[in-house]
Structure 1
Amino acid sequence: MEEISPSGVRTGLLLEIISSRGFEWHDEGRKQERELAAKYHDLAERFYFEYPFVGRVLEDIAEFIKDEAIIQDTEEDISKRIDI
């Protein structure tokens, strides 16, 4: 993958891994997502040196999951304020 690494492959891998999680029930604070993001971040660090493309994809996944958790927390906070 290091030799071919076009952006389409990167995007496809990112979407496939994110989509493969399916439907999940999320706890408040998104602990599950934060732990999963940390797992992908750790994997990315292991791959960066020898396989930088794979490492970058794994880091992108970690960032996506972390950002989604932040967005969901923010939306939940806003909903609570509106319902008051």
Structure 2
Amino acid sequence: MFKNPEGLEALGGNLYKESANSGAAIQGKVMGKINQGAIEMSNVDLSEEFTEMIVTTRAFQAASKVITTSDELLQEIVNLKR
């Protein structure tokens, strides 16, 4: 833990190092615990998110088809004028 975590110097690759702005690392009592064998629970419902992804993909495909069709229609109109 640092007095000012925002002051850590970024090294890249998700690595940081202590800097004058961050202050020295605070050592002392452990601030967390590790539960062996525990599974991390997230607030994401995978089935719902996957369904939303499919719906979004289908909407994108439909919009793409509309653009392609309108482009073909405009091309036909241009060809009729020639």
- With the shorter chain as reference, the TM-score category is 0.3 to 0.5
* TM-score under structure 2 length normalisation: 0.41
* Bigger helix share: 1
> Could you say which structure has the larger radius of gyration?
2
Q: Which has the higher contact order (CA 8 A, sep 6+)?
A: 1
* Bigger strand share: 2
* TM-score under structure 1 length normalisation: 0.40
